[in-house]
Structure 1
Amino acid sequence: MASTVNHDTLFIDAAALRSILSYKTLMNHLESTLPTASSAVESPIRHSHQTSPSSSLLLMPSFSVSSSLPYIGVKLVTFHPCNSSIYLPVIHANYTLFSSVTGQTLASIDGSEMTLYRTACISGLASRHLSRQESRILVMVGAGAMAPHLIRAHLSARPSLNKVIIWNRRNEKAVALVEMMEGEFQGVSFESNGCLDEVVRLGDVVSCATNSEVALVMGKELKSGAHLDLVGSFKHSMKECDDEAIRRGRVFIDNEAALIESGELLGAIERGVICRDHIVGNLVELIRGDKVGRKDSSQITIFKSVGSALVDLLCAQLVYETYKNAPPSSI
């Protein structure tokens, strides 16, 4: 499951990571560390390189200037959207953690698995602050590698959810995900549905994780009090909802990069549907209480995430320190 590369460097593979990490633990860790770490960690703008007409290489560095978080980290990510047609993950990644004191390599972590956890937990954490406490139905738009993690994180963040409806362009993938997750959560039912507008109308929480460049969620279909979670887009051409959804929603972002990389927000601003001030705040401001999330039960809230090297570093910290301190028999 895990092996030692040398006397000082740990290799933490996907199986080891799953054995030591839970969605609730990671969400709690991020909620407690993000407010202080946001001012103590430097995260240069990620490098994004087009390696083919449809594929990309991303480099995400981050380093702490605080003695209480003595780490440097770099994530290398490849994005190959055509992989979905051959049943391979679209995203592959590796994360390297260094000591900021000595510069030595501390760990090489399966970045693909870590990214799935950290992305889902950021969405779950936002839902804690933005979705209604009495939310019952979760709609999952997309049935790729990210979907089961988002479902688990949302169910962990909002225990009132008792029904999950999954939609995917290829319905057989939605059916397969339902079969995989049925019975995993006591008291939660799972089903698939091929009519997206119909299921969006039902969703108290609607979570999207697709590579779509055409709007999927129509704003007119969002029910009163819904929370919309947008995960998929990270470049201008991508979008998972239309302008009407953005216009109707009280919008929060994970970090300022969303205003550079999110197709939904950039497009709506460029077309004059919203102005920059329509973005209420970011996740750290929500956690601190600097910004009010949901003002009433009828309001539509939106959370757009594009990922950040800061969250990667905090996730790697938890994984590394937990793994290093765990008894060998528990790994």
Structure 2
Amino acid sequence: MLHLDANATAAPLGWPALIDALRRAFVEGCEVPLRHTHRVDDLEGRGGTVLLMPAWRPGHYLGIKTVTIFPGNTDRALPGLHSLYTLFDARTGVPLAQLDGNEITSRRTAAAAALAASFLARGDASRLLVLGSGRVAQHLAPAMRTVRPITQVRVWNHRPEGALALARQWRTDGIDAQAVTDLRSAVEQADIVSCATLAEAPLVRGEWLREGTHLDLIGSFTPRMRESDAACFSRSRVFVDTEEALAKSGDVLGAMAEGAFDAAQLQGTLAQLCRGERPGRTHEREITLFKAVGNALEDLAAAELVAGAMLAQ
């Protein structure tokens, strides 16, 4: 069995190729059981969450991702999320490779957001605001620039030094990027607002969203986590990566509890957008919202790209 480090895992996952692979995967589909979620408490009462996410295409590949999420790691100067991805032959069950799950997760998450934006953001969207400065956040500017003509990027983080560092990194890549501290003003000026945080209380307020904005909520993925208030949902046409979000997203559940949204108002899933079964943006003034909790289909599509590169060697 091969063991690929972060660099070897990331090398085949260029943005155009990965976004296209996700689009094809959502059109074709695969077997995706519900994820297993378990709480892991520590002696200090903080702890974290472990996720087990399997997916397979009969006759092709089987993949299983193991993810640990410990938000308190930020106080320890450690990433809040770690993961491993194991790829098997779906015909025999033989393990083929262990991939860097952090690269698989962060890149497919950003690519799924960009894929959704290709349907939901205005065609002329040029101003991107990123909330967060972690592994997923750092990929959002290049991923979004693949599908929309982004010329200006602003980044906000609850720790300002994180935003400053990420903006500096993007500038070295030739992107017009600046850190901001006034979140409301930054949201009001953005065409795309992309949230990639582990927040447990709303950051973005619906009243801040101007007409034509696309709001992207891809950080929170449990009922305890929330990046937006209920007004964001009441003002938007809402799409999700998978209907699992209706039961597991704190953003969705919070909006439901406050009477701002219900399942009947859901406009569609990412698969339905990719298959042309539901319309994306219908006019320039509407506000669109994409809520993602992650889908093992996305992991498998990314891992298959890596596998293809391995076999070509």
Same-fold status (TM-score > 0.5)? yes
| AA in 1 matched with 2:161 | E
Q: Within the alignment, does 1:132 sit opposite 2:119 as a pair?
A: no
1:257 maps to 244
Report the CA distance between 1:20 and its aligned residue.
2.1
Report whether the alignment pairs 1:27 with 2:14.
no
C-alpha separation in 2, matches of 1:287 and 1:45: 21
1:275 shift after superposition: 1.8
1:296 is aligned, of 283, 292, 295, to: 283
What is the 5 A alignment of 1:97-176?
97-158=87-148, 160-176=149-165
Shift of 1:80: 1.0
Deviation >6 Å, runs of 4+: none
TM-score, structure 1 normalization: 0.91
Given the superposition, is the C-alpha separation of residues 63 and 20 from structure 1 closer, same or farther in structure 2, using an over 3 Å criterion?
closer
Aligned partners of 1:242 and 1:264 also within 8 Å: yes
The aligned counterpart of 2:71 is: 81
CA distance in 2, matches of 1:323, 1:12: 10
> Cα distance, 1:18 vs. partner?
2.3
For residues 282 and 104 of structure 2, the distance between their equivalents in structure 1, rounded to whole angstroms, comes to: 33
CA deviation after TM superposition for structure 1 residue 270, in Å? 2.3
Q: Distance in 2 between matches of 1:172 and 1:222?
A: 25
1:307 paired residue number: 294
CA–CA distance in 2 between the matches of 1:324 and 1:302? 38
CA deviations 1:219-266 (Å, max 9, x no partner) are 010111000000111111211111111110111000111111111111
Deviations 1:173-221, CA, capped at 9 Å, x for gaps:
1111111110313xx4111110100100011000001111111001010
Q: Select the residue among 160, 181, 184 that pairs with 2:173.
A: 184
User: Which residue in the other structure is 2:6 paired with?
Assistant: 14
The separation in 1 between residues aligned to 2:268 and 2:121, in whole angstroms, is 16
In 2, the alpha carbon distance for the partners of 1:166 and 1:275 equals 31
2:121 and 2:192 in contact (8 A); partners too? yes
Whether contact under 8 Å (2:170, 2:176) holds in the other structure is: no
Deviations 1:102-161 (A, max 9, x none): 111111101011101111100010011110111110000111222111222111221x11
2: CA distance, partners of 1:87 / 1:23 = 29
Report matched runs for 1:33-72 at 5 Å. 33-36=25-28, 38=29, 41-52=30-41, 53-65=46-58, 67=59, 70-72=60-62
Q: SS where residue 82 of structure 2 aligns?
A: strand
**Root mean square deviation, CA, Å:** 1.2
Percent of aligned pairs with the same amino acid = 39
The C-alpha deviation readout for 1:77-106, integer Å capped at 9, x for no partner, is 111111112222111110111111111111
Which runs of 5 or more residues in structure 2 are unaligned?
A: none
- Residue aligning to 1:216: 203
Query: What secondary structure is seen at the aligned counterpart in 1 of 2:158?
Result: coil
Kindly indicate whether the alpha-carbon contact (under 8 Å) linking 1:20 and 1:323 is maintained by their aligned counterparts in 2.
no
